[in-house]
Amino acid sequence: MKQNATLDSSFWINAHRSGLLPNVLELFAIHYAPAVALELRETFPSGREFWRLAQEGQVTEAVPKLEVFRSFGPGERGAINLALEHRDWTLLMDDRTPFVESVRLGLKALCTPVLVAQLFVEGALDAPTALEALARLAAMQTLSPDLLALALAQIGKARKEKGE
């Protein structure tokens, strides 16, 4: 059964560019705030894929009832407000400062590098595929090196435990 999740545009773009989007869609029922949708323009491949899936109903709009959280940009705010409203949802967020703030607020947050590590630990990705996905994420230079290092450490630990 898929876990409900909401996301920021940065997570979507990074998941799309790194090849993780099929894994994300397999694991999560994605609900997006209108402000996030506005950031995903059809002039870019990740935006075209987003709107294609939205038209097919594979990702669905959810409007936050209240704007409790007022920091950061409109997309981050919308995603965080949805996650605050639906505490059982996972917040998919790649921007480091909003990610850290979300965790501080007690939200269940996940970034693409940690998702890669999780998929490796669960056996959904082998080591070369996981490392390639992290390399693609690093090459974009849009993610915190700390988050990438955390994921690499998790993969390294898991590999040792598996005897690789």
Pair (26, 105) in one structural domain: yes
Pair (129, 106) in one structural domain: no
Pair (73, 133) in one structural domain: no
Which residues does residue 61 pair with via DSSP β-bridges, in sequence order? 32
Give the global pTM.
0.91
Pair (94, 137) in one structural domain: no
Rounded CA separation 77/39 (Å): 13
Please write the tens of the pLDDT for every residue from 91-103. Answer: 999 988 898 899 9
Last residue of a domain, one of 71, 93, 111: 111
Pair (132, 147) in one structural domain: yes
For residue 32, the enclosing domain spans 3-111
Instruction: Give just the sign of the alpha carbon dihedral 39, 145, 137, 114.
Output: negative
SS3 per-residue string spanning 112-149 = HHHHHHHHHHCCCCCHHHHHHHHHHHHHHCCCCHHHHH
Pair (65, 15) in one structural domain: yes
The stretches in the chain having pLDDT less than 50 are: none
> Phi, psi (5° rounding) for residue 87?
-65, -15
